[in-house]
Amino acid sequence: MKEINIFYNALETLPVLASKIKAKQKKIMGYLCSYAPEELIYAAGFHPMRLFSSKSDIVQAEQHLQAYCCSLVRGVLEDSLSGRLDFLDGTVFPHTCDSMQRLSDIWRMNGKYEFFADVILPAKLNTQSARAYMKDVLTGFKKDLEKAAGKEITDTDLQNSIKKFNIIRKNLSKIYALQSKKPGIIKGSDLYTIVKGSMVMDRDEVADILPVIAGNLEKIDLPPKNIKRIVMSGSICDSPDIYSAMESAGGVIVGDDLCTGQRWFEGQTQVDENPMDAIAARLLNRVICPAKHFSPTARGENLVSLAKKNRADGVIFMLLKFCDPHAFDYPYLKEFLEKQGIKTLLIEMDDQQQNSGQLATRFETFIHYI
Amino acid sequence: MSDKLSEKRKIKSAKKMRDIMTTYYLDAMTAGQNNKQIAWITSGGPVEPLVAMDIIPIYPENHGAMIGASKMGEDLCIKAEDMGYSSDLCSYARADISCSVVKGGPIGGLPEPDMLICCNNICGTVLKWYEVQARFYNVPLFILDTPICHTRYSPEIAKYVQAQIDEYIAFLEKVTKRKFNYEKMAEVGRLAFEAQLLWQKVLNTTAHKPSPMSAFDAFFFLALIVTLRGTKIAVDFYKELLGEMEQRIKDGISMVPNEKYRLLWDNLPVWYQLKWLSQKFSDHNACLVADTYTSAWCGAIQYTNKDNFIGSIAEAYTRIYLNIGVDQMAGQVLDMIKFYNADGLVMHSNRSCKPYSFGQMDIMKIVREKTNLPVLMIEADMVDPRNFSQSQVETRIDAFMEIIKQKND
Q: CA B289, B293, B296 angle in degrees (round to 5)? A: 115
What span, in angstroms and rounded, lies between the C-alpha atoms of A293 and B291? 32
Q: Do A95 and B148 touch (CB under 8 A)?
A: yes
Q: Do B359 and A97 touch (CB under 8 A)?
A: no
Q: Does residue B384 surpass a pLDDT of 60?
A: yes
**Which residues are CB-contacts of B290 (< 8 A; sequence separation ≥ 6)?**
B203, B206, B215, B218, B264, B265, B336, B339, B340, B342
What span, in angstroms and rounded, lies between the C-alpha atoms of B3 and B18? 23
Q: Do A104 and B150 touch (CB under 8 A)?
A: yes
What span, in angstroms and rounded, lies between the C-alpha atoms of B245 and B204? 10
The whole-chain average pLDDT of chain B stands at 96
What span, in angstroms and rounded, lies between the C-alpha atoms of A370 and B177? 50
What span, in angstroms and rounded, lies between the C-alpha atoms of B242 and B229? 16
Q: Does residue B3 surpass a pLDDT of 80?
A: no
Specify burial of residue B229 (Cβ count, 10 A radius: 0-12, 13-18, 19+).
buried
Q: Using CB atoms, pick whichever of B85, B160, B164 lies closest to residue A331.
A: B85
For residue B160, give how far its alpha carbon lies from the nearest alpha carbon of chain A (Å). 6
What is the predicted ipTM? 0.96
Q: Give first-to-last CA distance, chain B, whole Å.
A: 29
Q: Do A101 and B148 touch (CB under 8 A)?
A: yes
Positions in chain A short of pLDDT 50: none
**Strand pairing of B344-350 and B286-291?**
unpaired
CB atoms within 10 A of CB B152: 11
Among 3.40.50.11890, 1.10.10.10, 1.10.760.10, 1.10.1330.10, what is the CATH number of A13-153? 3.40.50.11890
CB atoms within 10 A of CB B210: 20
Fold (topology level) of B2-181: Rossmann fold (3.40.50)
Q: Do A325 and B147 touch (CB under 8 A)?
A: no
- What type of residue sits at position B320? I
Q: Using CB atoms, pick whichever of B83, B159, B326 lies closest to residue A102.
A: B326
For residue B90, list chain A residues with Cβ-Cβ distance below 8 A: 324
- Determine the length of chain A: 370
Ranges in chain B annotated CATH 3.40.50.11900: 184-408
Q: Using CB atoms, pick whichever of A108, A124, A327 lies closest to residue B89.
A: A327
For residue A107, give how far its alpha carbon lies from the nearest alpha carbon of chain B (Å). 10
What span, in angstroms and rounded, lies between the C-alpha atoms of A251 and A357? 16
Residue in B130, B296, B126, B144 with CA at minimum distance from that of residue B225: B296
For residue A215, give how far its alpha carbon lies from the nearest alpha carbon of chain B (Å). 42
Looking at the complex, does the CB of residue A104 fall below 8 Å from at least one CB of chain B? yes
Looking at the complex, does the CB of residue A321 fall below 8 Å from at least one CB of chain B? yes
Distances (CA, A) of B38 to A356, B32, B42: 50, 9, 13
pLDDT at B1: 45
A131 → chain B, closest CA residue:
B160
pLDDT at B2: 61
pTM summary value: 0.97
In three state form, how does the secondary structure of A100-146 look? Answer: HHHHHHHHHHHCCCCEEEEECCCCECCCHHHHHHHHHHHHHHHHHHH
Do B60 and B113 touch, CB atoms closer than 8 A? no
Q: Using CB atoms, pick whichever of A63, A106, A132 lies closest to residue B359.
A: A106
Q: Which of A23-32, A215-224, B64-73, B189-198 has the lowest mean pLDDT?
A: A215-224
Q: Give first-to-last CA distance, chain A, whole Å.
A: 32
Ranges in chain B annotated CATH 3.40.50.11890: 2-181
Q: Give me the sheet containing A28-31, strands edge to edge.
A: A47-50, A28-31, A90-94, A115-119
What span, in angstroms and rounded, lies between the C-alpha atoms of B221 and B199? 9
pLDDT at A273: 86
What span, in angstroms and rounded, lies between the C-alpha atoms of B150 and A104? 8
Cβ-count burial B298-312 (b if 16+ within 10 Å, e if not): bbbeebbebeebbeb
Distances (CA, A) of B227 to A50, B60, B305: 44, 10, 21
Looking at the complex, does the CB of residue A152 fall below 8 Å from at least one CB of chain B? no
Do B277 and B389 touch, CB atoms closer than 8 A? no
Average of per-residue pLDDT across B63-80:
97
- Among A77, A95, A127, A133, the strongest candidate for a mutation testing the B interface, having the largest count of B CBs within 10 A, is A133
Q: Do B355 and A101 touch (CB under 8 A)?
A: yes
For residue B141, list chain A residues with Cβ-Cβ distance below 8 A: 296
Cβ-count burial B244-257 (b if 16+ within 10 Å, e if not): bbeebbeeebbbbe
Average of per-residue pLDDT across B317-323:
96
For the residues of A156-221, what is the DSSP string, one character each? HHHHHHHHHHHHHHHHHHHHHHHHHHSTTSS-HHHHHHHHHHHHHS-HHHHHHHHHHHHHHHHH--
Q: Do B127 and A123 touch (CB under 8 A)?
A: yes
Q: Is the dihedral of CA A295, A300, A305, A310 positive or negative?
A: positive
**Which residues are CB-contacts of B143 (< 8 A; sequence separation ≥ 6)?**
A123, A124, A293, B118, B119, B120, B127, B130
For residue B134, give how far its alpha carbon lies from the nearest alpha carbon of chain A (Å). 7
Output the CATH code of domain B184-408.
3.40.50.11900
Q: Give me the sheet containing B286-291, strands edge to edge.
A: B286-291, B261-266, B344-350, B375-380
What span, in angstroms and rounded, lies between the C-alpha atoms of A289 and B84? 20
A354, B381, A104, B126 alpha-carbon torsion, rounded to 10°: 100
Looking at the complex, does the CB of residue A202 fall below 8 Å from at least one CB of chain B? no
Task: Give chain B's radius of gyration (CA, Å).
Answer: 21
Looking at the complex, does the CB of residue A119 fall below 8 Å from at least one CB of chain B? no
Looking at the complex, does the CB of residue A97 fall below 8 Å from at least one CB of chain B? yes
